[in-house]
Structure 1
């Protein structure tokens, strides 16, 4: 007589945990990006830096980092503006490109964490 094995598949629970981990990772990754970009935001009074925020759409597993002042886009896009040392235009785009691997690892770590629990 051959040995028997019983397999119990919890696909929905696994998918739900993976989605929760991805949403948590997206939030943490976006917060990481916000912190890195805050070090480069042009500063005069600090209003632009303080306007930075993270928004998460857990249902679609998406996160966004934004700065909300009337001049945020111009400060980001106008490469002719002069800034203090270490402060630059592209203060969000450049850190996103540079930190992409780190953000992906943050998300992956949160998914792994949820799947182990």
Structure 2
């Protein structure tokens, strides 16, 4: 009879998985930020430069935001004219369009953490 011994390192696995998820969230948020910056209306570049990506590692939540007094108005005003490639909904569009890519980024980082 052959015997096998299994050692379960559950706590280490959970820590690694959370760390991988947090890294994946950060990379995913940075990806969305990069895509949205390419679409943000541009006059002087202030709006584009104000974009940030943050991650709350305790809650495993990520956020992408733009911080100018007119960021929301530029995002929501569909009647404004913009330069070619620049548009209203400069954040909402990339968030929806890049969701699968962000999911793949997070999954890849979690897999990497479990190696």
TM bucket, shorter chain: over 0.9
TM-score normalised per structure 2: 0.97
SS in 1 for 2:67: coil
Structure 2 CA distance for aligned equivalents of residues 39 and 107 of structure 1: 22
Q: Once superposed, what is the RMSD of the aligned Cα atoms?
A: 0.7
Structure 2 CA distance for aligned equivalents of residues 12 and 60 of structure 1: 18
Q: Which residue of the partner structure matches residue 29 of structure 2?
A: 30
Residue ranges of structure 2 left out of the alignment (5+ in a row)? none
TM-score normalised per structure 1: 0.96
Structure 1 CA distance for aligned equivalents of residues 114 and 59 of structure 2: 19
Residue ranges of structure 1 left out of the alignment (5+ in a row)? none
Shift of residue 36 of structure 1?
0.3
Structure 1 CA distance for aligned equivalents of residues 91 and 20 of structure 2: 24
SS in 1 for 2:109: helix
Q: Which residue of the partner structure matches residue 71 of structure 2?
A: 72
Shift of residue 70 of structure 1?
0.4
Structure 2 CA distance for aligned equivalents of residues 113 and 56 of structure 1: 19
Q: Which residue of the partner structure matches residue 88 of structure 1?
A: 87
Structure 1 CA distance for aligned equivalents of residues 35 and 95 of structure 2: 9
Q: Which residue of the partner structure matches residue 13 of structure 1?
A: 12
SS in 1 for 2:114: helix
Q: Are residues 1:41 and 2:40 paired?
A: yes
| Runs of 4+ in structure 1 over 3 Å off | none
Q: Which residue of the partner structure matches residue 3 of structure 1?
A: 2
Q: Are residues 1:102 and 2:71 paired?
A: no
